[in-house]
Structure 1
Amino acid sequence: MWCNGILCGPVLLIWTFIRGDLKTTIDFPYLFSPGFLVILLFSCILAFFLNYSIFLNTTLNSALTQTICGNMKDLFTIGFGWIIFGGLPFDFWNVIGQFLGFTGSGLYAYFKLIGK
């Protein structure tokens, strides 16, 4: 991942300069306020632990297991989003798609645990 950052960082910096996003970021009024810096620090810490847990999960298991875990996370996120925030059309095909994804992920996890 560090190679990706090294390769993409300069390109992203030039792109943000061309689009004017770099100036907008520098002119952000709360850029150096303690509250913003604390939230930014916690966001970076969470990103670090997320990347570390993905790396550890892939190392100890397999890339397929990591993919299934990601699908399970997405299913729960979408499910909670339906319940808490709404806004997504609640129709037959959405429910079937969520059910099939959840069932497939659950069956994979079950058979992975029993060793078949």
Structure 2
Amino acid sequence: MRSTCPIFTILIYRFFYGRTYSQATYISLIPVILGVGLATYGDYYFTGIGFTLTLFGVVLSALKTVMSNRIMTGSLALPALEILLRMSPLAAVQSLLYAIATGEASAFSAWVAEGSLTPSYSSALLGNGLLAFLLNVSSFQTNKLAGALTMTVCANLKQCLTVLLGIVLFDVTVGVWNGAGMLVTLVGAGIYSKVELDSKGKKVEATLAKDLRSDADAGPRVS
């Protein structure tokens, strides 16, 4: 389900912003999406409510990626650090309320009261928070430079790389279809990158040609 995020990203751009992509881009996304499906083949199980909530989460994920890009590249043009400054307190309050509602906060308080919060645990929590902060900064900045659709493609690629790391580090066993799916995703990501680079190159050439025509139409300048 997570691998279909590029589809919802395209739909959001198309219906809300009127943006379209080239046919080559659409075709290049097919192996990126199907490859992840093959990489996880044989591990499918779900309930109706689970499927619905997962689908809703995918739509929200695509919407978050698109809106983050629009905030950083649109009329606001906010930098990544300012977005974090504005959003992190809200996210912290939301997480705290959810922890209280689920009983996690009381369990953590009891764990601290038992003296389990040692300096090593505190350092681990601080390090985890620092890594999360750096991840958010790099993610927002990459979204601003590369675009929302590219971010969703990278997310699919990350899923396959996670499985590869699991094979290397934890001796995770995968089947032939799973290995083929990872390969298909890697190839699809490479094709998508090539298509996007060619598209951006054509846009730059068109912009330069337009500027040259404008200068030629303006005639010689008199100082």
Residue 109 of structure 2 corresponds to residue 109 of structure 1: no
- Mind listing any 5+ residue stretches in structure 1 that lack a counterpart? none
- Deviation of 1:82 (Å): 1.5
Establish whether residue 48 from structure 1 lines up as the match of residue 127 from structure 2. no
Shift, 1:47, TM fit: 0.3
The alignment status of 1:98 with 2:194, answered yes or no, reads no
Q: CA RMSD in A?
A: 2.3
Query: What is the rounded CA distance, in whole Å, between the counterparts of 2:170 and 2:96 in structure 1?
Result: 38
Structure 1's 27 and 6: CA in aligned 2 closer, same or farther, altered over 3 A? closer
Residues 84 and 7 (structure 1), Cα distance of their counterparts in 2 relative to 1, 3 Å cut:
closer
Q: SS of the residue aligned with 1:27?
A: helix
Moved more, 48-57 or 105-114: 105-114
1:84 match: 169
Q: Which amino acid aligns with 2:116?
A: Y
Relative distance call for 1:9 and 1:79 in structure 2 (3 A) is closer
Structure 1 position 66, deviation (Å): 1.1
**Partner Cα distance (1:86, 1:23) in 2:** 37
TM-score relative to the length of structure 1: 0.78
How far apart are the structure 2 equivalents of 1:79 and 1:9?
Answer: 31
Report 1 or 2 for greater relative contact order, CA contacts < 8 Å, sequence distance ≥ 6.
2
Cross-structure match for 1:25: 108
- TM-fit CA distance, 1:7: 6.7
Contact 2:100 2:106 in 1 (8 A): no
TM-score where L is the length of structure 2: 0.44
Give % identity. 30
Correspondence for 1:75: 160
Does the 8 Å CA contact 2:160/2:185 hold for their aligned counterparts?
A: yes
